[in-house]
Structure 1
Amino acid sequence: MNVGSHYKLIHFIPWTKEKIYKMLLISVVPTLLFYFLGWTWLAIPWVPVALLGTATAFISGFNNTQTYNRLWEARQIYGAIINNSRALSMMIKDFIRTDDKAEEKLLHKEMVYRHIAWLTALRFQLRESKSWEHVKTKSWNREYLQYYKVPEWESSLEEELKPFLSEQERQFILERKNRAVQIIALQTDQLRKLNEHGLVTDFNYVALENQFKELYDQQGKCERIKNFPYPRQFSTINVFFTNAFCALLPFGFLNEFSKIGEPFVWLTIPFSVMTGWVFMTLQQIGESTENPFEGNANDVSITQISRNIEIDLRDMLGEKDLPAPLAPMNNILM
Structure 2
Amino acid sequence: MLLRQGLTTYRFFKITWKLDLLMIGLCTAAYFTDTYLLPKMVVPATLPTLIGTAIAFFIAFNNNQAYSRWWEARTIWGALVNDSRSWARNILTYCNTDTSFDDTELKKLQRKMVFRHIGFLYALKAALRKIPSDEFAKYLTDEDAKKVTGYANIPSAILDLQAADLQLLSEKGVVDGFRFMQMNGMITNFCDSMGKSERINNTVFPTTYVYFTRLFIWILVILVTMAISEHIGWPSIFFGWIIGFVFHTTHINGMSIMNPFELQPAGISLNSITRTIEINLLQMLGDGAIPEPVKAERNGEYIL
Structure 2 counterpart of 1:118: 120
**Do structure 1's residue 188 and structure 2's residue 163 form an aligned pair?**
yes
Deviations 1:211-263 (A, max 9, x none): 100111111110110111112232233222222212222112213xx1xxxxx
C-alpha distance in structure 2 between counterparts of 1:284 and 1:41, whole Å: 36
- Structure 2 residue runs of 5 or longer lacking an equivalent are none
- SS at structure 2 position matched to 1:290: coil
After the TM superposition, which residues 240-319 of structure 1 pair with which residues of structure 2 at under 5 Å, given as runs? 240-255=215-230, 258=231, 264-319=232-287
In structure 2, relative to structure 1, the CA distance for the partners of 1:26 and 1:43 (3 Å cut) is farther
- Structure 1 residue runs of 5 or longer lacking an equivalent are 129-152, 259-263
Q: How far is 1:117 from its partner?
A: 0.4
1:242 partner amino acid: I
Q: How far is 1:281 from its partner?
A: 1.8
Question: Which segment is superposed worse, 197-206 or 63-72?
Answer: 197-206
Question: Which segment is superposed worse, 243-252 or 215-224?
Answer: 243-252
Relative to the length of structure 1, the TM-score reads 0.85
Q: How far is 1:42 from its partner?
A: 4.6
Structure 2 counterpart of 1:81: 80
Structure 2 counterpart of 1:32: 32
C-alpha distance in structure 1 between counterparts of 2:295 and 2:40, whole Å: 58
C-alpha distance in structure 2 between counterparts of 1:177 and 1:162, whole Å: 15
C-alpha distance in structure 1 between counterparts of 2:40 and 2:145, whole Å: 71
Q: How far is 1:283 from its partner?
A: 2.2
After the TM superposition, which residues 58-137 of structure 1 pair with which residues of structure 2 at under 5 Å, given as runs? 58-98=57-97, 100-128=102-130
1:319 partner amino acid: D
Q: How far is 1:301 from its partner?
A: 0.6
1:164 partner amino acid: Y
2:186 partner amino acid: Q
Q: How far is 1:97 from its partner?
A: 3.3
1:115 partner amino acid: H
Q: How far is 1:33 from its partner?
A: 4.7
What is the percentage of aligned positions where both structures have the same residue?
Answer: 30
Question: Which segment is superposed worse, 215-224 or 97-106?
Answer: 97-106
CA contact (8 A) 1:89 1:313 kept: yes
C-alpha distance in structure 2 between counterparts of 1:277 and 1:40, whole Å: 26
- SS at structure 1 position matched to 2:235: helix
CA contact (8 A) 2:125 2:270 kept: yes
2:244 partner amino acid: G
1:316 partner amino acid: M
CA contact (8 A) 2:95 2:175 kept: yes
Relative to the length of structure 2, the TM-score reads 0.93
CA contact (8 A) 2:30 2:222 kept: no
In structure 2, relative to structure 1, the CA distance for the partners of 1:203 and 1:30 (3 Å cut) is closer
1:198 partner amino acid: G
CA contact (8 A) 2:121 2:155 kept: yes
C-alpha distance in structure 2 between counterparts of 1:92 and 1:27, whole Å: 65
Question: Which segment is superposed worse, 59-68 or 21-30?
Answer: 21-30
Question: Which segment is superposed worse, 111-120 or 171-180?
Answer: 171-180
2:262 partner amino acid: E
Question: Which segment is superposed worse, 178-187 or 17-26?
Answer: 17-26
Q: How far is 1:189 from its partner?
A: 0.4
